[in-house]
Structure 1
Amino acid sequence: MTTNGKSHRILLAGAGGVLGRHVARALTEAGHKVTGLGRGPEDDIRADLMDRDALLRAVDGQHFDTVIHAATALRKAPMRHRDMDATDALRTEGTAHLLEAARATGARRFVAESMVFGYGYGDHGDRVLAEDDGFGPRGTDPSRERHIAAVRAKERLTLASPGLEGIALRFGLLYGPGGTDGLLPLLRKRQLPVPHDRGRVLPWVELGDAARAVVAAVERGRPGQAYNIADPTPLGFRAHLLRVAETFGLPQPMAVPLWLMRPMSYAHDVMSTTLRVSTAKAERELGWIPVHPDARDGLAAMRAGTR
């Protein structure tokens, strides 16, 4: 039974992705009817968000109450700035096309995956950022600006789309079943060197908790609003990998100087960022509190096969 007593017919773009699979399961368990949209053979509706005409043909005659945008072009962790190009395009053109499809199906609500890096890469110090704290500042170089501009555009399109109740969820870094798994072979072979954190921390959120936030946004989100979604324990990138290695009994990742990461330009920008966010608004308005308060707890649940 849904927490608000109403079952939604939901079109989920990106249902076959890492986050999408968790979202589909959480929505179904909450009593909603989910139709998957994507390019994979497992999707209920086959369409590419970048092909507007094909997308509109694919949803012709369909009706949904809510559309969720959780689509990504990433199949592995991005290392260089160019690895984000296809996902940046999905955030701009793909979002515009999906919004058009949502209106064509009679949907009233549109929930979009956003990300905390929309607050900007770099050192934010000890300040804890809330949703009204300068989201989408201009990037400090062309590559960073390209990524931030794409997130900025996705939120602008989502929150100001005529005729739709737009909601954006600004996720921390995602980990857990389906996401962390890909790191384990690299850690086992010591093929994942990372620099010391030197006081740098980032927001994290376990995939199941992220999916529960999507359910909460579908059922209780306030139209036109964005919400930070992260656990209360920010952690440096290396510190997180040390938790993974400890939990799964693997060797610690090799430590390297931060400058050595520069050829992996996107990973360098992520690992050199310090960022903390407040989730008070999500707790207050969505009733969302993560089941896993930190990565150690979430990773232990992953190893035990629980959620």
Structure 2
Amino acid sequence: MNKDKTVGGDSASGPKLLSPLFLTGGSGYLGRNLIRHFVAKGVEVVALVRSQKSADVVAALGARPMIGPLSEATAAEAMKGCRSLVHAAAHTSHGPETPEHMAVNVEGTRATFAAARQAGVQRAVHISTESVLVDGCPLTNVDESRPMPSRFPGAYSRTKAEAEQIVRAQSGNEFEAVIVRPRFIWGRDDTTALPILTQAARSGQMAWINGGEYLTSATHVANVCHGIELALLKGRAGEAYFITDGEPSTFRGFVSRLLETQGIAPPEKVVPSWLVGAVACAGELAARLSGGRVKPPVTRQDLATMAVEVTLDISKARRDLGYAPIISVEEGMAELKRLASSGRDQQK
């Protein structure tokens, strides 16, 4: 890799070495923030979207939309002239397996990276997840050397793990692909985790599993975008990097702070893990027997990511990428509180 590539404050031209940048999943939560991040640095962003509604979203953020399916032919045509790729499209459901898990996470990744090689893209980042390592047992300060488990708790983990293998196989011969694994993305403009948490808390359906006092790593969306930029410019081909906010928090404490930014009092209810585990197994069995008509209230995939400690060591990203969080948990929480307060004032 070229050693003269620099980013951010080191060189105004650094990020422009990535331009034009091709982005999948541009209308999603992370994708929208990536567009803002790179456009602000002068990078031309081409975003593949599946509908006119999504095209309007990414265009309003400053990207050039390309409407089409996540197929090799479509992506290869759209990527012509692009120097870099960020593959953020994913089917993130933690529920029982559906055709979309394979179609998006596996076949979509295969098509995207084959197209990138065909189009002459030089650098790529695949957005993965720490969930490729979860098996239902605690993960305590693990690093990227930890092997994937022999059995996964759900389709999301399994298909994202398979996607990583595809990316590694494609990397090489003047096409350098890097994997970034953020954990528990949160922050401004959240249309994923925060709405689910607030709805559960308001409905009285939220409870702390075993008290929720186990530790968790998390990653503010601005830190994810910063880490992805660094991975594009400095990451070693074929390698994976964890990106987090740094020091972990207790799961209960962190989620409680998120809820409080929205003016919601955290729940006090506590449930034992054995009971929730039994509910998950029964619900998944009912889903299979009903052909998917029954939706389980919780799954083993959910529990593997939120019912035990999951903490990550980011030493590799610090060493190889020069990564350090650019926004603290305190700053992120204060921003969420300001935005929520502003929204409530506007509704009066």
1:81 alignment partner AA: P
Give the structure 2 partner of residue 229 of structure 1. 243
Q: Superposed, which structure 2 residues align to 1:124-273 within 5 Å?
A: 124=138, 127-134=140-147, 136-139=148-151, 143-144=153-154, 146-161=155-170, 162-163=172-173, 164-179=175-190, 180-182=193-195, 183-257=197-271, 258=273, 259-260=275-276, 262=280, 263=283, 264-265=298-299, 266-273=301-308
Secondary structure at 2:111 match in 1: helix
- Shift of the 159–270 alpha-carbon distance from structure 1 to 2, 3 Å rule, reads same
Give the structure 1 partner of residue 84 of structure 2. 66
Q: Is 2:19 the partner of 1:8?
A: yes
Report if aligned partners of 1:138, 1:148 keep a CA contact under 8 Å in 2. Answer: no
Question: C-alpha deviations, 1:114-145, integer Å up to 9, x for none?
Answer: 111212232236x42111222x22126xx53x
For residue 36 of structure 1, report the CA deviation from its aligned partner: 0.6
Normalization by structure 2: what TM-score? 0.75
Q: Quick one: distance in 1 between partners of 2:13 and 2:51?
A: 28
Q: Is 2:67 the partner of 1:46?
A: yes
1:139 alignment partner AA: R
For residue 59 of structure 1, report the CA deviation from its aligned partner: 2.2
Kindly report the root-mean-square deviation, in angstroms, between the aligned alpha carbons of the 2 structures.
2.6
Give the structure 2 partner of residue 81 of structure 1. 96
Give the structure 2 partner of residue 101 of structure 1. 115
Question: C-alpha deviations, 1:26-61, integer Å up to 9, x for none?
Answer: 111222111111213243111222x444444x527x
Give the structure 2 partner of residue 304 of structure 1. 338
1:148 alignment partner AA: S
1:138 alignment partner AA: S
User: Which of 294, 315, 331 in structure 2 is aligned with 1:280?
Assistant: 315
**Aligned residues between the structures:** 293
For residue 302 of structure 1, report the CA deviation from its aligned partner: 2.3
Structure 2 portions without partners, runs of 5+? 1-11, 56-64, 284-297, 341-348
Secondary structure at 1:12 match in 2: strand
% of aligned pairs identical? 22
Mean Cα deviation higher: 260-269 or 219-228: 260-269
Structure 1 portions without partners, runs of 5+? none
Q: Quick one: distance in 2 between partners of 1:88 and 1:241?
A: 30
Report if aligned partners of 1:137, 1:148 keep a CA contact under 8 Å in 2. Answer: no
